Structure 1
Amino acid sequence: MNHEVIVTCAVTGAGDTVGKHPAIPVTPKQIAEAAIEAAKAGATVAHCHVRDPKTGRGSRDPQLYREVVDRIRSSGTDVIINLTAGMGGDLEIGPGEDPMRFGANTDLVGGLTRLAHVEELLPEICTLDCGTLNFGDGDYIYVSTPAQLRAGARRIQELGVKPELEIFDTGHLWFAKQLLKEGLLDAPPLFQICLGIPWGAPADTTTMKAMADNLPPGAQWAGFGIGRMQMPMVAQAMLLGGHVRVGLEDNIWLDKGVPATNGTLVQRAVEIIERLGARALTPAEGRRKLGLPARGERQLERREAGQYA
């Protein structure tokens, strides 16, 4: 069991939740405020996507990320910033016998283009989705090829950002371990076991344990389940020795019929952690646990070099 738990809050995601919840964060201001709310509720890490303020759909616009990061960094509230680098892997196969007629939801770019905002803003952590996946029913595929992943991992390593290795199925874990073997990841690696997304790995004890048992020695890891499995997987991850993730990206309900906020989901997770005899780590403690620079250290280095701070 893990008695010192990093709590990540994934505050908005890119999914079709706008309109299904009264207050999904959409604008950069709302997303930054959601991250700050989560931190004040006890989150160690804020995991951020951005959305097009006009449509609410997921975006990879670096200017939107810049505003979110600027607002968080200037707020006076400490939280480890984790930016997604998963946008740009969306492929909607054409219908029926015309698979090459890609759908309107396709947004497919190379592995380095997916890192444009990471290059500019140097968050402490960014994600690396470690494989291709049938994502839900229909014809939607998330694409992340071995060549793209090697290029992305190498660039993230050069930038000095810590990759959070998103593991949606067992083959993803296999390949992430190969990246480590090839020297494209710095030790200790950080894994996020993502459960319950159709049709990846299911959110259950057997699956999480199997993945946790196959992690490389010395790895840090967290796990989560989506929807109603969010809180059960909080307890399960820490009992198996891992860290946890909650947030509106993965689940929009606090209780049946009661919409959640990022703050209330973090509070619920912290309560579970404490009732099991453990505690949630502060951002400063989380940095030490993950081997990250102290708060502001990287930004100070860039400011001294005349770069963005």
Structure 2
Amino acid sequence: MQDKVIITCALTGAGDTVGKSEHVPVTPEQIAADAVAAANAGAAVVHIHVRNIETGQGSREVALYREVVRLIRESGVDVVVNLTAGMGGDLVIDQEDPLKPVDGTDLVNAQDRLPHVEELLPDICTLDCGSLNFGEGSQLYISTPDMLRAGSKRIQELGVKPELEIFDTGQLWFATKMIEEGLIDAPPLFQLCMGIPYGAPANPELLQTMVNMLPEGAQWASFAIGRNQLPWVAHSALLGGHVRVGLEDNLYLAKGVKATNAQLVERAVSVVEGLGGTIAEPDDARRILNLKGHTGA
């Protein structure tokens, strides 16, 4: 187990979950308030998506990110800010005409996934390290090697730490190649994402295999979605990783009991401490991950 275990809280995501729980934050004010509550509960890092205020759907609108980050930074609560840079990779295929534009497609190049990162200079931003059949139907997440090299180079220029989102073993292979090419500064930070159809299954033996594939000196965390989220806190911590919880990945504290982000963090704290671990403070996370310490533009 790590000397200090970093807890990340993934606050809202971009999935169609708003109608499934009243606790999923939508507005910048709600997202920022959940970030503060999660930090007070023990999260050193908050992972942030934003949502269209009217529809509740995921958004790439820079003004929404700007407002969330402003509210967090003005709250006086110390927390490491991790902004998603994965939006803009969605491709929906028409079965009769695969080149026909289909509602739900939101596909842009690597640079156009980063304007909020360029403006706000968060401590961390995500980099989804490969393409994926995303669930049932005909939706793909697109992140090609050329896109990834361009995106990682720009993130490196900005001095932001990329969190390498790994959904399957081939993506881990390619992320390691980018490290070898000098596109990722030390120590690399991996997030092993388990149970998302159809990537890596939430299988503890597979998690061990992926951990064995990590390059020397890497920092890493792992999470699993749904009912596996809280057990996965233990799996990840015991294998020497950091952990992630939050409403992006799971809506429940127990069967039939809907959770808040703060409650999920509190439960993660109790699991880690129950295993004999110590919870990292934000300054611990900055030291462990060698963050640049941006305070914003």
Which of the five TM-score ranges fits, normalised by the shorter chain?
Answer: over 0.9
Instruction: Measure the CA separation in 1 of the matches of 2:205 and 2:100.
Output: 39
Q: CA deviation at 1:100?
A: 1.9
Match of 1:268 in 2: 267
- TM-score, L = length of structure 2: 0.98
User: CA separation in 2, counterparts of 1:99 and 1:138?
Assistant: 13
Q: For the aligned residues, what is the CA RMSD?
A: 0.9
Describe the SS at the equivalent of 2:137.
coil
Measured in 1, the distance between the counterparts of 2:56 and 2:292 equals 33
2:77 counterpart letter in structure 1 = T
Alignment of 1:112-123 (within 5 A): 112-123=111-122
4+ long deviations beyond 4 Å? none
Partner residue, 1:69: 69
Which residue number in structure 1 is paired with residue 207 of structure 2?
A: 208
Corresponding residue of 2:44: 44
Aligned-residue sequence identity (percent) comes to: 63
Find the counterpart in structure 2 of residue 233 from structure 1: 232
1:302 maps to what in 2?
A: none
* 1:117 partner SS: helix
For the residues of structure 1 that align with 2:235 and 2:98, how far apart are their CA atoms? 40
User: 2:292 & 2:152 partners in 1: Cα distance?
Assistant: 19
8 A contact 1:127–1:164 mirrored in 2: yes
Amino acid at match of 1:254: L
Task: Supply the distance in 2 between the matched residues of 1:204 and 1:74 (Cα, whole angstroms).
Answer: 40
Residue 102 of structure 1, CA deviation = 3.1
- Equivalent residues of 2:159, 2:292 under 8 A apart: no
Gaps of 5+ in 1: 300-307
In the alignment, the residues of structure 1 paired with residue 16 and residue 134 of structure 2 have an alpha-carbon distance, to the nearest angstrom, of: 13
Q: Counterpart of 2:19 in 1: which secondary structure?
A: coil
Deviation at 1:195, TM superposition (A): 0.3
- Tell me if the contact between 1:3 and 1:277 (Cα under 8 Å) persists in the aligned partners: no
Separation in structure 2 between the aligned mates of residue 37 and residue 31 of structure 1, nearest angstrom: 10
Show the 5 A alignment for 1:150-161: 150-161=149-160
Cα deviation, residue 2, structure 1: 2.5
Quote the residue 1:35 is aligned against. 35
Residue 166 of structure 1 is matched in structure 2 by 165
Counterpart in the other structure of 1:53: 53
Contact 2:160-2:292 at 8 Å conserved across structures: no
Q: Which residue of 2 aligns with 1:253?
A: 252
State the match for 1:25 in structure 2: 25
Deviation at 1:101, TM superposition (A): 2.2
Offset, 1:116: 0.5
- 1:68-119 deviation digits (Å, cap 9, x = unpaired): 000000100000000000000000111x332222321000000111001000
Q: Is the 8 A contact 1:88 1:114 kept in 2?
A: yes
TM-score norm. by structure 1 comes to 0.95
Q: Is the 8 A contact 1:86 1:127 kept in 2?
A: yes
Q: Is the 8 A contact 1:134 1:198 kept in 2?
A: yes
CA distance in structure 1 between the aligned counterparts of 2:209 and 2:36, rounded to whole angstroms: 34
What's the offset of the Cα at 1:171? 0.6
* 1:304 aligned partner: none
Which secondary structure state, in structure 2, belongs to the residue aligned with residue 19 of structure 1?
Answer: helix
Aligned position for 1:305 = none
Structure 2 residue aligned with 1:124? 123
Whole-angstrom distance in 2 between the partners of 1:267 and 1:102: 44
Q: CA deviation at 1:23?
A: 2.1
**Distance in 1 separating the partners of 2:158 and 2:261:** 30
Structure 2 contact 38–262 (Cα < 8 Å) conserved: yes
SS, match of residue 231 in structure 2: helix
How big is the shift at 1:232?
A: 1.2
Equivalent in the alignment of 1:224: 223
Give the letter for the 1:12 counterpart: T
Q: Which amino acid aligns with 1:87?
A: M
Instruction: For residues 123-166 of structure 1, give each alpha carbon's deviation from its aligned partner in whole angstroms, at most 9, with x where no partner exists.
Output: 00000000000000000000000000000000000000000000
Name 1:92's counterpart in structure 2. 92
